[in-house]
Amino acid sequence: MRLETLGCRLNEAELEAWSREFERRGFHVVGAGEPAALVVVNTCAVTQEAVRKSRQILRRAHRADPSARLLVSGCLAALESEALARESGVDLVVTNGDKDRLVGIALEALSIPAMPELAIDEAASLFARGRQRAFLKVQDGCRYQCTFCITTQARGEERSRPIRELVETVGRLAGQGLREIVLTGVHLGGYGSDLGTDLAALIRRLLDETDIRRIRLGSLEPWDLPEGFWHLFEDGRLMPHLHLPLQSGSDEVLRRMARRCKTDAFARLVGEGRAAVPDLNLTTDIIVGFPGETRDDWRRTLDLVRAMRFGHIHVFSFSPRAGTLAAGMPNRVDAETRKRRCQELQALAEELRRDLLQEQIGRRASVLFEGPPVLPPDTGRTGYTPNYLPVRLAPGLPIASNQLVEVHLTGVDPDGSTLIAELLDDLDGQESSSRCASTRPSPAAIWSRGF
């Protein structure tokens, strides 16, 4: 069987969960482009372009494997289930409300027999596909109504997975050799609101009760960090990278977006985070050309972005999404202005990125090296620092995938996107698990456990 997706990390997390469940039932998951008897597509509907691409994936999958059974899920399936069911080749549509039971529904509805005697462990399947981290969905749905967002309609009310279930899943993956997980959700900061708990409690339990070596967090709304959040980073296994969506640097635009964090509060939050976690890398989302965005609004956005020193920015040109309040707002920003502003922001983002990478030169860092088990001879192994900066080693060095190694960061590659590193001579083949040693060395006792 083959699984395909586009869109957010939550879609990736769901796809990985289905993959693990199918494999526990004895199915073999193949890579992109390989023939399969069953194809599962997790669609996206966050923009009209995402809708177009989702339908394109479905049609391409049917053309490539006309005899394969085709199952569709995801946000587009939730919003347009009847239309998708009429698409050529589609055998089954599973909406978001049922996607946690997708594997069982598929086996029953499509009369596919399970073969548990052929099952392999979950982490081994990830490694075989060149993946060294698992995306773990901890909650779904969102209580908020940002005016540009269709996700609330597609995902519904907030629902959190029990802590005990998540601890068991992470413990099992760690026992199989997985070293890094990424916690994801539509509204990750709202985890536990329906269970009488919160995200901080979940993270503490994962740190206390599992041997996972690295925990990363998906996108977090800046108004929803739980009490005591920054203290969690005192355990070096919680990686110092956060994605906090800003969306605009203008309070007036944020008001029209129905965002719940003004710019001064965002700046204070960033200051608190960097004071508590000195090596913290912050990344963000910006929507360019939201209806009514003036020249002054845009100048404020550029000024705030520069002041926040983001390590990476996802730049989105506003496009109206049918069904959202923003789609009907007046004072649209013309396409040429949106294009020019996107280019300005991209240039600033690249400048900030280069500055951040240059600051890392001369430091030590623990890097989890990734990719397939065997590389072509002229390809260097790549991985990520704890604060989620890409690192490349020279070709030919004897580093396996899924290995945590201490390196010396020596430079930045010519295109300014990736750090260059060399192995430290004092490792004697042993793994290390500290953060960047020049900023926050972690006690060895923290790393009793293995993005």
Q: Could you tell me which residue, 8 or 141, shows the higher pLDDT?
A: 141
Q: In total, how many domains does the chain have?
A: 4
In the predicted model, what is the mean pLDDT of residues 12-38? Answer: 80
Indicate if 313 and 303 belong to the same structural domain: yes
Nearest to 131 by CA among 362, 319, 337, 368: 368
Q: Which of 306, 327, 358 is the last residue of a domain?
A: 358
Indicate if 30 and 108 belong to the same structural domain: yes
pLDDT at 176 (0 to 100): 87
By residue range, what is the domain housing residue 399? 364-447
CA distances from 109 to 103, 104, 112, 410, 434 (A): 10, 8, 8, 56, 49
Q: Which of 239, 263, 296 is the last residue of a domain?
A: 239
pLDDT at 161 (0 to 100): 93
For the chain, the first-to-last Cα distance in angstroms comes to: 25
User: What CATH number is attached to the domain comprising 44?
Assistant: 3.40.50.12160
In the predicted model, what is the mean pLDDT of residues 295-322? Answer: 96
* pTM of the entire predicted model: 0.79
Which position has the token pair 């490539």?
A: 64
pLDDT at 153 (0 to 100): 77
In the predicted model, what is the mean pLDDT of residues 386-393? Answer: 95
pLDDT in tens, 363-382: 999 999 988 777 777 778 89
Residue 131's contacts (CB-CB under 8 Å, 6 or more residues apart) are 370
Q: Which two tokens stand for residue 267?
A: 């700046």
Residue 425 binned pLDDT confidence (cut-offs 50, 70, 90) = low
User: What CATH number is attached to the domain comprising 163?
Assistant: 3.30.750.210
Which letter, b or e, does each residue of 182-212 get, where b requires 16 or more Cβ atoms within 10 Å of its Cβ? bbbbbbbbbbbbeeebbbbbbbbbbbeebeb
Q: Could you tell me which residue, 141 or 9, shows the higher pLDDT?
A: 141
Indicate if 246 and 344 belong to the same structural domain: yes
Q: What is the DSSP track for 48-110?
A: HHHHHHHHHHHHHHHHH-TTSEEEEEEHHHHHSHHHHHTSTTEEEE--GGGGGGHHHHHHHHT
Q: Which of 118, 140, 163 is the last residue of a domain?
A: 118
In whole angstroms, what is the distance from residue 94 CA to residue 332 CA?
36
> Residue type for 276, please?
A
In the predicted model, what is the mean pLDDT of residues 434-444? Answer: 36
254 close to 284: Cβ distance less than 8 angstroms: no
pLDDT in tens, 329-357: 999 999 999 999 999 999 999 999 999 99
Q: Which two tokens stand for residue 99?
A: 């996607």
Indicate if 309 and 257 belong to the same structural domain: yes
Residue 114 binned pLDDT confidence (cut-offs 50, 70, 90) = low
12 close to 135: Cβ distance less than 8 angstroms: yes
In whole angstroms, what is the distance from residue 108 CA to residue 103 CA?
9
Residue 10's contacts (CB-CB under 8 Å, 6 or more residues apart) are 135, 137, 140, 184, 185, 186, 218
Q: Which of 112-121, 285-294, 425-434 has the lowest mean pLDDT?
A: 425-434
Indicate if 251 and 346 belong to the same structural domain: yes
4 close to 34: Cβ distance less than 8 angstroms: no
Between helix 199-209 and helix 163-175 the angle, nearest 10°, is 40
User: What CATH number is attached to the domain comprising 392?
Assistant: 2.40.50.140
Indicate if 229 and 205 belong to the same structural domain: yes
Q: Which of 156-165, 208-217, 304-313 has the lowest mean pLDDT?
A: 156-165
For residue 151, give the 3-state DSSP assignment: helix
Q: What is the DSSP track for 244-266?
A: ---B-S-HHHHHHHT-S--HHHH
Residue 126 binned pLDDT confidence (cut-offs 50, 70, 90) = low
In whole angstroms, what is the distance from residue 305 CA to residue 313 CA?
9
Q: What is the DSSP track for 123-144?
A: HHHHHHTT--EEEEEEEE--S-
Indicate if 98 and 181 belong to the same structural domain: no
In whole angstroms, what is the distance from residue 277 CA to residue 428 CA?
30
Indicate if 46 and 93 belong to the same structural domain: yes
Q: Could you tell me which residue, 394 or 280, shows the higher pLDDT?
A: 280
Indicate if 208 and 263 belong to the same structural domain: no
Does residue 432 have a pLDDT over 50? no
pLDDT at 78 (0 to 100): 85
CA distances from 230 to 378, 389, 433 (A): 42, 20, 20
In whole angstroms, what is the distance from residue 74 CA to residue 330 CA?
30
Indicate if 51 and 79 belong to the same structural domain: yes
Which position has the token pair 């070709």?
A: 395
Determine what percent of the chain is predicted with pLDDT higher than 90.
50
Residue 428's contacts (CB-CB under 8 Å, 6 or more residues apart) are none
Indicate if 131 and 185 belong to the same structural domain: yes
In whole angstroms, what is the distance from residue 291 CA to residue 390 CA?
35
In the predicted model, what is the mean pLDDT of residues 149-159? Answer: 82
Q: Which of 93-102, 296-305, 360-369 has the lowest mean pLDDT?
A: 93-102
Residue 373's contacts (CB-CB under 8 Å, 6 or more residues apart) are 127, 128, 130, 400, 401
In the predicted model, what is the mean pLDDT of residues 431-441? Answer: 40
Does residue 131 have a pLDDT over 70? no
> Residue type for 247, please?
Q
Q: Could you tell me which residue, 27 or 429, shows the higher pLDDT?
A: 27
In the predicted model, what is the mean pLDDT of residues 199-222? Answer: 96
In whole angstroms, what is the distance from residue 439 CA to residue 101 CA?
44
Q: Which two tokens stand for residue 316?
A: 């989105």
pLDDT at 446 (0 to 100): 25
212 close to 181: Cβ distance less than 8 angstroms: yes
118 close to 26: Cβ distance less than 8 angstroms: yes
Indicate if 400 and 425 belong to the same structural domain: yes
In the predicted model, what is the mean pLDDT of residues 161-175? Answer: 93
pLDDT at 451 (0 to 100): 26
In whole angstroms, what is the distance from residue 263 CA to residue 299 CA?
13
Does residue 234 have a pLDDT over 90? yes
pLDDT at 364 (0 to 100): 96
Residue 99 binned pLDDT confidence (cut-offs 50, 70, 90) = confident
Name the pairing type of β-strands 90-93 and 419-423.
unpaired
pLDDT at 192 (0 to 100): 95
DSSP annotation of 236: T
